[in-house]
Amino acid sequence: MTILTIATTPFDGQKPGTSGLRKKVRVFQQPNYSENFIQSVFDVVDDKDGALLVIGGDGRYHNRTVIQQAIRMAAANGFGKVMVGQGGILSTPAASHLIRHYKAIGGLVLSASHNPGGPDEDFGIKYNVANGGPAPEKVTEAIYARTQTIDRWLTVDAADIDLDAIGTVSVGGMTVEIVDSVADYAALMETLFDFDAIGAMAAGGFTMAFDAMSAVTGPYAHEIFERRLGFAAGTVRNGTPLEDFGHHHPDPNLVHAKALYDLMMGADAPDFGAASDGDGDRNLIIGKGRFVTPSDSLAMLAANAHLAKGYAGGLKGIARSMPTSAAADRVAQALGLPCYETPTGWKFFGNLLDAGLVTICGEESAGTGSDHVREKDGVWAVLLWLNILAVRRIPVDALARDHWAQFGRNYYARHDYEGIETDRANALMAELTASLPSLPGRSVGPLTVAAADSFAYADPVDGSISANQGLRVMFGDDAWIVFRLSGTGTEGATLRVYLETVQGPDGVLDAETPAMLADLVTAADAIAGIARHTGRTAPDVVT
């Protein structure tokens, strides 16, 4: 088969963010745009000759087009085989599992995660490496460098293939295998959790609502929750992946999953509610009448994971991203486990998991996962919750209260200011950065700044340093604020303000979060000048 060399010139801005390259669909539709990025990935991957590459996405608009392009380019670049999820569908954790299970050299995950989809919305491409996890910074930096000098991309002259037909075909002499999107992943889940116990709980009348948000987890949830575990038909809501997610943001938070929240707070609430995001790596957990913050969910899962067979031997350690609440640290301390604090983004957990330093990881943005794959995993988190509830036989609310009584409670919220002009957001961060040395001693209301810094992470495994990962303002030992700019948006800037205050086991455990955080909200504006810089007096999204 002849390899075609197509001349091209670099595009600006092909810099992977927190989780891959994310842009508007129309940007990706420009001639050479996707091809330049994919070729830049292939140009930095060593040993691809004859190797296996996994490709899949969250089913959003433009997914199939890029998959067909990527298959032809993989053939031209010497890969031996490509494995694709049926219909182009693979959840991010399922893709991570396939890479590991079949010893692929890596994978292309086509998703913009929780960002909306459709012709006028977002698309994304992420490269995962051989451990199944997102490429570490040194790889994403090499990819970005390559995008700035690229002058050609390689493809073969071959027609599109049928992505819906399971089986094997040849493209330009390379084998392409279309696999069931769910089977291997579901089998992995059965090794970790007691499906009989969860199934017995469902048969005994325990009910659940799982909102797949018209995104990728629909097929996984139908198979696992309804078919294998026996939850009633209809347990899975919005279970068909749609290219535009039904015009919604597939973001499992209290704003975009409000229907689920309202259900769970109402008189007819099932026992357990959960949702996942566009690409299936996030999870939202809501018990009957009790929302569990993602940070609390991480802590509660860590404290109870040994009740599931996959974790019966206990945990090696716990890791959380820096802006995630320190609730998990209290569990680690009580269990005598090491606890690691990383920058935002799953790629920073990879080394810790590979080195066997931690078993469970989590982020405040509704991401929880373990060493079973190298991505966060929404369905996995739901199954771990169900397994724990099947063993403990108490409602979510009782489990939460019990947890706080034992470990204390971290009141926590994230305030997002979206679509800010980039210059204004940068000015706010620059001014705040400059003021950090002068902040200690400053008082706002009842709070006095004890310390302030810009978070830098030294990876304990490979020694790499990641600087400028968020600005921290600490008030004593029990309250703090973190400021950072999002690295996943496609329009303007999003300022994230993370607020946290801690109560010990003997403290106030049953207060409303906004009341507990009111002084911190005031302090955040006074210290960072949010209204002055952005003109905003309230966040767009509170999670």
φ, ψ of residue 110 to 5 degrees: the values are -100, 105
- Sequence-separated (6 or more) residues with CB below 8 Å from residue 283: 252, 274, 275, 276, 294, 297, 366, 367, 368, 377, 378, 379, 381, 382
Cβ distance to Co ion smaller for residue 135 or 339: 135
Cβ distance to ligand VG1 smaller for residue 238 or 321: 321
How many residues lie near ligand VG1 (CB under 6 A)? 18
Which residue in the set 23, 282, 288, 472 belongs to the binding site for ligand VG1 (CB under 6 A)?
282
From the list Co ion, ligand VG1, none, partner contacted by residue 363 (C-beta under 5 to 8 A by kind): ligand VG1
Task: Check residue 363 for interaction with ligand VG1 (CB under 6 A).
Answer: yes
Three-class SS state of 434: helix
How long, in residues, is the chain?
Answer: 543
Give the Cα separation of 314 and 119 in Å (integer). Answer: 46
The answer to whether the beta carbons of residues 240 and 246 sit under 8 Å apart is no
From the list Co ion, ligand VG1, none, partner contacted by residue 496 (C-beta under 5 to 8 A by kind): ligand VG1
Cβ distance to ligand VG1 smaller for residue 35 or 375: 375
Give the Cα separation of 466 and 342 in Å (integer). Answer: 9
We find the least distance from the C-beta atom of residue 281 to ligand VG1, in angstroms, to be 5
We find the least distance from the C-beta atom of residue 277 to Co ion, in angstroms, to be 4
**For the range 536-539, what are the long-range contacts, defined as Cβ-Cβ under 8 Å and sequence gap of 24 or more?**
536/417, 536/420, 539/415, 539/416, 539/417, 539/497
Task: Check residue 140 for interaction with ligand VG1 (CB under 6 A).
Answer: no
x-or-dash pattern for ligand VG1, window 223-262, by CB under 6 A? ----------------------------------------
Beta bridge partners of 473: 452, 481
Which residue in the set 345, 350, 408, 470 belongs to the binding site for ligand VG1 (CB under 6 A)?
345
x-or-dash pattern for Co ion, window 315-354, by CB under 5 A? ----------------------------------------
Per the annotation, the verdict on 113 as an active-site residue is yes
Task: Check residue 350 for interaction with ligand VG1 (CB under 6 A).
Answer: no
Buried b or exposed e, range 512-525, using 16+ CB within 10 angstroms = ebeebbebbbebbe
Task: Check residue 113 for interaction with Co ion (CB under 5 A).
Answer: yes
Which residue in the set 117, 219, 241, 367 belongs to the binding site for ligand VG1 (CB under 6 A)?
367
We find the least distance from the C-beta atom of residue 39 to ligand VG1, in angstroms, to be 23
Task: Check residue 19 for interaction with ligand VG1 (CB under 6 A).
Answer: yes
Cβ distance to Co ion smaller for residue 200 or 254: 254
We find the least distance from the C-beta atom of residue 264 to Co ion, in angstroms, to be 22
Cβ distance to Co ion smaller for residue 38 or 275: 275
The answer to whether the beta carbons of residues 113 and 17 sit under 8 Å apart is no
Q: For the segment 482-511, give every residue that binds ligand VG1 (CB under 6 A).
A: 486-488, 496
The window from 108-116, 190-198, 202-210, 262-270 that contacts Co ion (CB under 5 A) reads 108-116
Task: Check residue 279 for interaction with Co ion (CB under 5 A).
Answer: yes
Cβ distance to ligand VG1 smaller for residue 43 or 279: 279
The answer to whether the beta carbons of residues 119 and 245 sit under 8 Å apart is no
CA dihedral 136, 142, 145, 149 (to 10 degrees): -140
Beta bridge partners of 156: 3
The residue assigned the tokens 């599109």 is: 160
From the list ligand VG1, Co ion, none, partner contacted by residue 121 (C-beta under 5 to 8 A by kind): none
Question: What are the C-alpha distances in Å from 270 to residues 14, 386, 402, 502?
Answer: 45, 13, 21, 30
Task: Check residue 58 for interaction with Co ion (CB under 5 A).
Answer: no
Which residue in the set 194, 223, 277, 459 belongs to the binding site for ligand VG1 (CB under 6 A)?
277
Cβ distance to ligand VG1 smaller for residue 45 or 213: 213
The answer to whether the beta carbons of residues 18 and 487 sit under 8 Å apart is yes
Give the Cα separation of 381 and 385 in Å (integer). Answer: 6
Task: Check residue 91 for interaction with Co ion (CB under 5 A).
Answer: no
Cβ distance to Co ion smaller for residue 63 or 113: 113
Cα 173 from chain centroid (whole Å): 36
Give the Cα separation of 73 and 69 in Å (integer). Answer: 6
The window from 67-75, 197-205, 282-290, 426-434 that contacts Co ion (CB under 5 A) reads 282-290
Q: From the candidates 113, 181, 370, 486, which is the catalytic residue?
A: 113
143: how many CB neighbours lie within 10 A of its CB? 23
- Cα torsion 539, 494, 132, 119: sign: positive
Task: Check residue 281 for interaction with Co ion (CB under 5 A).
Answer: yes
Give the Cα separation of 119 and 352 in Å (integer). Answer: 38
Using CB positions, name the residue nearest to ligand VG1: 113
We find the least distance from the C-beta atom of residue 24 to ligand VG1, in angstroms, to be 16
343: how many CB neighbours lie within 10 A of its CB? 22
From the list Co ion, ligand VG1, none, partner contacted by residue 256 (C-beta under 5 to 8 A by kind): none
Three-class SS state of 507: coil
Complete DSSP assignment for 141-171: HHHHHHHTT--EEEEE------TTS-EEEEE
Which residue in the set 35, 211, 226, 281 belongs to the binding site for ligand VG1 (CB under 6 A)?
281
The answer to whether the beta carbons of residues 119 and 61 sit under 8 Å apart is yes
Cβ distance to ligand VG1 smaller for residue 124 or 239: 124
The residues binding Co ion (CB under 5 A) are 113, 277, 279, 281-282
Which positions lie near ligand VG1, rule CB under 6 A? 18-19, 113-114, 277, 281-282, 321, 344-346, 363, 365, 367, 486-488, 496
- Residues labelled catalytic: 113
